Amino acid sequence: MAQIKNRLTPFFENITFDRDDNELILNFGPQHPSSHGQLRLMLHLQQEQIVKAHPDIGYLHRGMEKMAENMIYNEFMPTTDRMDYIASSSNNYGFALSVEKLIGLEVPRRAKVIRMMLLEINRLMSHLFWLATTALDIGAMTVFLYAFREREYLMDIIEGYCGARLTHAAIRIGGVPLDIQDSFISQLKDFLDKLPANIKDYEDLLDTNRIWLMRMEEVGIVSKEMALSWGCTGPMLRASGVQWDIRKEEPYELYDEVEFNVPWSDKGDNFARYRLYMQEMRESAKILYQTIDMYQECVKNGDTKLMAHAPKYVSAPKLDIMTQNYSLMQHFVLVTQGMRPPVGEVYVATESPKGELGFFINSQGGPYPYRLKLRTPSFWHTGILTDLLPGHYIPDVVSIIGTTNIVFGEVDR
């Protein structure tokens, strides 16, 4: 319908709409502080209630799968840091493990222990970061400051190990590049001894907090069927009544030697997920204590090897490279041309802090993967917003995005 030009009525009354309902389309993001990255949500609203949600992603798409097809395997390792940059060692690990499975490498025990330490520290860092940002979104500034303070200790430990705070690249295909520094164990122990009191602090602030409960309880309920159908993993799945943790069910590294519980809940709401994160931090601490013992056992038994011995795929230790001609030649070839894994396909899933992190590699025997597919948990946890948000109100959007724990480096890759 053409607009009626009438100078007597204000201009906005001249506008005619195609649709005659009260639906308002709200554009949430892509630059919204509580969307934890570049998420754009198109929300169709009836009053304050969402009737349709349409997540739009891709604002951080860097084409990592494409990059992987043009890089040698070791070159891709620092790129994996940029996926889930809150816990980058877990990405490094997922990639390293999948290539090791493809090649059939056995990693030395000491390296395995160090890797487990790094993985669990990363899990703690990720969970603390989750708690801090989600609490901040809801308005709990104190928790944000507390949790970031604890995360800072962990980042210092990691920095001491690999020199980086966020993008660690701390794991290599075939092992780890370095032994842990002298102060690592004592610093970690100090941190772990303090952690229960810290977690209690957070819980004291949040568990019975009226605002927190109102925003969390009975909000964002994900049913078991929905979680399975949407490919949810990690805390998202465990909060919805499936006790599935890859560390427990398909153990990798030395997770079958350590004792820990897999917390789960059948509520499926925001509060259940919050409780799970808190429980998982305690379990991670439990695992870390055990890895410290395992590490000291390694020291006692004289297991000093950190990298697997596989001259076709992994460079020799630095000392050999500097002293032996053959090691130097082999190192030169591996750096300039890259390793050539056998022809075959592998899909390896690991439990990253966010859920199932999978690497699918199709190798055609070349130094570059023929196809590498990154299966990142946050991708599905963003997709589920399509079905999860309708029926909720605008303020719930923020708390739901918070508890899905999505990181956009991982969603867009």
State the minimum distance, in angstroms, from the CB of residue 300 to other proteins.
26
Rounded Cα distance between 298 and 300, Å, is 5
State the minimum distance, in angstroms, from the CB of residue 61 to other proteins.
4
Rounded Cα distance between 357 and 4, Å, is 57
State the minimum distance, in angstroms, from the CB of residue 83 to other proteins.
14
Task: State the pairing for strand pair 40-46/355-363.
Answer: unpaired
- In this complex, which beta carbon is closest to other proteins, that of residue 167 or of residue 223? 223
State the minimum distance, in angstroms, from the CB of residue 252 to other proteins.
11
DSSP 147: H
Q: In one letter, which amino acid is 153?
A: Y
- In this complex, which beta carbon is closest to other proteins, that of residue 124 or of residue 227? 227
Sheet holding 40-46: strands in order across?
A: 24-28, 40-46, 49-56
- In this complex, which beta carbon is closest to other proteins, that of residue 103 or of residue 143? 103
- In this complex, which beta carbon is closest to other proteins, that of residue 201 or of residue 387? 387
Copy the structure tokens of residue 144.
């944000």
State the minimum distance, in angstroms, from the CB of residue 374 to other proteins.
9
Evaluate whether 133 touches 404 at the Cβ level (below 8 Å).
no
State the minimum distance, in angstroms, from the CB of residue 373 to other proteins.
5
Q: In one letter, which amino acid is 141?
A: M
State the minimum distance, in angstroms, from the CB of residue 244 to other proteins.
5
Rounded Cα distance between 276 and 199, Å, is 12
User: Could you give the maximum distance between any two Cα atoms of the chain, in Å?
Assistant: 92
- In this complex, which beta carbon is closest to other proteins, that of residue 99 or of residue 219? 99
Copy the structure tokens of residue 224.
């078991």
C-beta pairs of 357-361 under 8 Å, 24+ apart in sequence: 357/84, 357/90, 357/91, 357/94, 358/94, 359/94, 359/95, 359/97, 359/98, 360/98, 361/98, 361/99, 361/102
- In this complex, which beta carbon is closest to other proteins, that of residue 166 or of residue 242? 242
Q: Which residues contact 229 (CB under 8 A, 6 or more apart)?
A: none
Q: Which of 124, 135, 144, 105 is nearest to 310 (CA)?
A: 105
State the minimum distance, in angstroms, from the CB of residue 246 to other proteins.
10
State the minimum distance, in angstroms, from the CB of residue 103 to other proteins.
9
Q: Is the peptide bond before 30 cis (omega within 30 degrees of 0)?
A: yes
Determine the distance from the C-alpha atom of residue 85 to the mean position of all C-alpha atoms in its chain, rounded to a whole number.
7
- In this complex, which beta carbon is closest to other proteins, that of residue 226 or of residue 299? 226
Q: Which residues contact 312 (CB under 8 A, 6 or more apart)?
A: 339, 340
The residues that touch other proteins, with contacts defined as CB under 8 A, are 57-58, 61, 63, 65-67, 69-71, 101-102, 104, 183, 226, 228-231, 242, 244, 249-250, 336-338, 340, 342-349, 356, 358, 360, 362-368, 370-371, 373, 375, 379-380, 383-384, 386-387, 412
**Which residues partner with 103 through β-bridges?**
none
State the minimum distance, in angstroms, from the CB of residue 348 to other proteins.
8
- In this complex, which beta carbon is closest to other proteins, that of residue 67 or of residue 213? 67
Rounded Cα distance between 135 and 15, Å, is 42
- In this complex, which beta carbon is closest to other proteins, that of residue 165 or of residue 305? 165
- In this complex, which beta carbon is closest to other proteins, that of residue 51 or of residue 226? 226
